[in-house]
Amino acid sequence: MIKDLQQRILKLKKEKDFCILAHSYMAQEIKEIADFTGDSYALAVKSKDVKQKNILMCGVRFMAETVKILAPEKTVYLSNPDAGCPMAEQMDKNLITVVKEQYPDYTVVAYINTTAALKTICDVCVTSSSAVEICKKLESDKILFIPDCNLGAFVEKQIPEKTFKLLNGGCPTHAKISEEQLLATMRKHPEAKVLVHPECKPLVVRHADYVGSTSGIINYAKESEDKEFIIGTEISIAEELQYLCPDKKFYPMSKDLICSNMKCTTLADVYNCLNGEFGEVIELDEEERLKAKHCIDEMIRLG
């Protein structure tokens, strides 16, 4: 049944000249029909050299906006218009304009999980895989890091020579995980290495053997000689790793680590979108796009 639908999607994709990009948190059956899967940094970079006329983003809204910012000549679709990222909507342009006035000499570093509108007033974007490297390379030693205070705290710890101002935003899915939950999982699997996404709370991150983006976690586990891992990010990564490395064991840090926003996109949505019956075409005002592009270009230049 799933295979039939996947076959029809692959046929339509070719006929209608689509490239499908899927974030690593998508369901396995979607990742199987995608042209490219990866973390948010890899997806952004990839969108610059897609050959097809149309791009279908299976992920959340800020990811589709990033593709449109970098590939304006393509028709970019978000496969499910309800797929937003709550963190990206926590802070808007008005709020950050006011905060910037209070910290006029700070460089504004925006996690890529922000709206295109907010990116227009930021200096540089980062992703979880590039944040430390980019903040280190910035000339400024004063950084206003938005919106994720957990990622910000992780970066701050790696760069003690710089001054950080963090705001109170973050990912509701990763922030749900408590230190107690992690310790309970560690007690059950005492041999397992702990791999954690930096969107988790510092009290969780401090127990990690490795901290990195979704792709970073996947690569670390694939290349490691260890055999057991506790995976501290969205549950789909533990699932994918179990497919990729059948001789190893992967335990989700908690069964609650499900991003309902990423999971609202289904294989049927992808099919209906290719058929022109669902999905949303991403449109951005050209002036806004160019301003937002500046901080993504800076991310790619420094990353």
Binding site for ligand SF4 (CB under 6 A): 60, 85-87, 113, 171-174, 199, 234, 259, 261-262
- How far is residue 55's CA from residue 64's CA, in Å, rounded to a whole number? 9
When asked if residue 199 is in the footprint of ligand 13P (CB under 6 A), the reply is yes
Give helix 286-302 / helix 40-47 axis angle, nearest 10°: 120
Number of residues engaging ligand 13P in binding (CB under 6 A): 11
- How far is residue 178's CA from residue 191's CA, in Å, rounded to a whole number? 20
* Choice between 175 and 302, CB closer to ligand SF4: 175
- How far is residue 267's CA from residue 250's CA, in Å, rounded to a whole number? 25
* Choice between 106 and 118, CB closer to ligand SF4: 118
- How far is residue 83's CA from residue 89's CA, in Å, rounded to a whole number? 12
* Choice between 169 and 271, CB closer to ligand 13P: 169
When asked if residue 130 is in the footprint of ligand 13P (CB under 6 A), the reply is no
213 binds, among ligand 13P, ligand SF4, none (CB under 5 to 8 A by kind): ligand 13P
261 binds, among ligand SF4, ligand 13P, none (CB under 5 to 8 A by kind): ligand SF4
- How far is residue 269's CA from residue 112's CA, in Å, rounded to a whole number? 25
When asked if residue 127 is in the footprint of ligand 13P (CB under 6 A), the reply is yes
CA 10 to the chain's CA centroid? 25
The stretch among 37-45, 92-100, 135-143, 219-227 that binds ligand 13P (CB under 6 A) is 37-45
- The tokens of 289 are what? 């796009």
- How far is residue 15's CA from residue 72's CA, in Å, rounded to a whole number? 22
Q: Which of 37, 80, 107, 113 binds ligand 13P (CB under 6 A)?
A: 113
- How far is residue 88's CA from residue 200's CA, in Å, rounded to a whole number? 16
* Choice between 65 and 199, CB closer to ligand 13P: 199
When asked if residue 171 is in the footprint of ligand 13P (CB under 6 A), the reply is yes
Question: How many CB atoms are closer than 10 A to CB 291?
Answer: 17
- The tokens of 199 are what? 């969107």
When asked if residue 114 is in the footprint of ligand 13P (CB under 6 A), the reply is no
Binding site for ligand 13P (CB under 6 A): 39-41, 113, 127-129, 171, 199, 213-214
